[in-house]
Structure 1
Amino acid sequence: MSNLHQNPSTTDWFGRKSSKIEYWHQATIFVNDLKLDINESPFKVGILGYAGEEGVRRNWGRLGTASATKSIRNMMGSLAFHLPESTKVFDYGDVITAGGDMETSHDLLSKFVQEMLETHHFPVLLGGGHDLALAHGRGIFNYIKPKGEKLGIINCDAHFDLRPLKDGKGHSGSPFYQLAVENEKDFNYLCLGIQQASNPKSLFDAAEQLNSSWITMEDFRSNNWEIIKERIQRFLNSVNKVYLSIDLDSFSSAFAPGVSAPSPLGFSPDIAFKVFELIASSKKLISLDIVEMNPKFDQDNASARLAARIIEFILRKIF
């Protein structure tokens, strides 16, 4: 076991007791030492936390995201379990960052994501700073490129996260810029919920240069659903597989107060869940992360509950 890894804790998952598997805390299998399940199974979910916030610190964000993984698991445990009976859900614990060395923890994350995909898991990563997307995306690209398939990245976010490096180092605002530089012509990026007040013109210019497309918050509304649906469907049709990254700061702070960069003008769960269902029903989604949850600023676990519900909903629509 790496010293950057913490084994899962059964105490993070709790809920109602039942004589049969009816809740997530009952369905979850706890795996120590990053020992991947390699058995053949049609439905496997691999949950991995990223208890790191060095990228947030480098990006001048509000600290506290490192404890998000526990909060999300706490809220997931009591949810009713509706996946097929043959589904296996594995909790592989958390990757941590030691001494500000974010890059080494990223290497471990990328390796494990690739191995999860190779062993037929559907990865669900919990964060943690959005720098997680760099490590997550690298693992997916390493898996998908030898197959000759085209990957599409959909990011639900108030920010492009296409900022340049700072002093040669990545951070929570740069993961998709780094993925774009590393993958050049293979970078296909759609960002949903972009807020103009949170992204200077230079980032819109960067997005245009890096084969990116987006829908601004002003247009990302339920009464505009048919246009939104057509834009997302066109993107889905243009790729073979999809990686979905969900930054909780894309939601209005009325729904997700516990995030690193809150905004009162984010979108509502109504439109977001319609988007999630559309993406999941495409059968192209192969990996998911949910990031920037910050328990330090949460209220009645509202943000953690939302994160848990998003994960449960998407998985139910996939399987």
Structure 2
Amino acid sequence: MNLHQNPSPFHWSGRKSDQVEYWHQAVEAISNLKLREDNTRKIGILGYSGEEGVIRNQGRIGTIEGPSSIRKMLGSIALHLPEDVPILDYGDIFTLDQDMESSHEAISKITYDLLTSSHFPVLLGGGHDLAYAHGRGALKFVKEKGEKLGIINLDAHFDLRPLVKEKGHSGSPFSQLAAEFQEDFHYLALGIQRAANPKSLFEMAEKVKAGFIVMEEFRLHNWEFIEEQIIWFIDSVDKIYLSIDMDGFSSAFAPGVSAPSPMGFNPQIAFKVFELIVKSKKLISLDVVELNPQFDQDNATARLAARAVEYIVRKKFVNQ
């Protein structure tokens, strides 16, 4: 069963220039998932056009268009990456006939293959169930090297909910990873909102030994404490996989999400966290999820998601 769609040049557009000055000019569309397997550093973009997990979690549908919206906003951003770092778009994985599990299998394999071929995977969602597939591929890669993977999630929610009728969903990716990998599961959640997480989820977080910072504490004036907690976590692992759920941002900055909240964090604190993580030189993989273009306003959420991706990869590859 082929669940892959080739990348569309339509999604990459922007200001015309005689030189390569913008992302849309630098991105190379790769058909049929033919991964570039040399050992040089490179960025591998993969979209997840899926919202079955959101539907199962009773969220607002529309995340299926997330990857294309992020690409459109990325295309017009000025390019500041080294010339020897290619940006390769490998298209999208989609869900057929509500079979989200097959989509996850495909994404896990591609994530693993991207990592083993010296890519920095940038996965664009889609629902946050993507994190289960993404995390599974990253954990396999890191475990084979005898190392420890840490997962950092910027989010309003723990996403540690139980399965529904024995099936995963957008609220369960990290509980699934915890169940599958047990002692190899190391998780830090930033921006958790108590109003959006019942006591049972705090109990679950304690059970799986997750670290977290609640939204009341995740503010710029508290940066010294936040920095200390993140550095402690980073120092306890060998590699980092970063997941950014756009619904963690305040709806003032990110209205186009499945579960908006006015009480989320602002871009300033998030981008300070991004820089701190990248400085560790342990970041190996990234995803951005839960963008819902149907509810976006002037592409504000898509622009923020694109800026987050651009900032992280630029900080990772410039002066590396």
TM-based fold match above 0.5? yes
Amino acid across the alignment from 2:6: N
1:273 and 2:271 matched: yes
- Cα distance in 1 between the residues matched to 2:173 and 2:270: 22
Alignment correspondent of 2:20: 21
The runs of 4+ residues in structure 1 deviating greater than 6 Å are none
- Cα distance in 2 between the residues matched to 1:289 and 1:60: 22
Alignment correspondent of 1:133: 131
Alignment correspondent of 2:109: 111
- Cα distance in 2 between the residues matched to 1:37 and 1:17: 27
- Note the residue ranges of structure 2 that are not aligned, 5 or more in a row: none
Alignment correspondent of 1:143: 141
State the TM-score, normalized to the length of structure 1. 0.99
User: What whole-Å deviation, never above 9, does each CA across 1:98-143 have from its counterpart, x for those lacking one?
Assistant: 0100000100000000000000000000000000000000101111
Alignment correspondent of 1:38: 37
Alignment correspondent of 1:173: 171
Identical aligned residues as a percent = 64
Matched-pair contact (CA < 8 Å) for 2:38–2:118: no
Amino acid across the alignment from 1:59: N
Number of residue-to-residue matches in the alignment: 317
User: What whole-Å deviation, never above 9, does each CA across 1:253-310 have from its counterpart, x for those lacking one?
Assistant: 0000000000000000011100000001110000000000000000000000000000
User: What whole-Å deviation, never above 9, does each CA across 1:67-92 have from its counterpart, x for those lacking one?
Assistant: 11110000000000001111110000
Alignment correspondent of 1:229: 227
- Cα distance in 1 between the residues matched to 2:139 and 2:217: 30
| Secondary structure of 2:17 counterpart | coil
| Secondary structure of 1:230 counterpart | helix
| Secondary structure of 2:288 counterpart | strand
Amino acid across the alignment from 2:309: I
Offset, 1:20: 1.6
Alignment correspondent of 1:94: 92
User: What whole-Å deviation, never above 9, does each CA across 1:32-77 have from its counterpart, x for those lacking one?
Assistant: 0010001231x30000000000000000000000011110000000
1:219-298 to structure 2, matched below 5 A, reads: 219-298=217-296
1:5 and 2:4 matched: yes
Amino acid across the alignment from 1:299: Q
Offset, 1:16: 1.0
- Cα distance in 2 between the residues matched to 1:228 and 1:141: 25
State the TM-score, normalized to the length of structure 2. 0.98
Matched-pair contact (CA < 8 Å) for 2:153–2:244: yes
1:206-217 to structure 2, matched below 5 A, reads: 206-217=204-215
- Cα distance in 1 between the residues matched to 2:146 and 2:39: 24
Amino acid across the alignment from 2:29: F
| Secondary structure of 2:32 counterpart | coil
User: What whole-Å deviation, never above 9, does each CA across 1:202-227 have from its counterpart, x for those lacking one?
Assistant: 00000001010100000000000011
| Secondary structure of 2:31 counterpart | coil
Amino acid across the alignment from 1:25: H
Amino acid across the alignment from 1:39: D
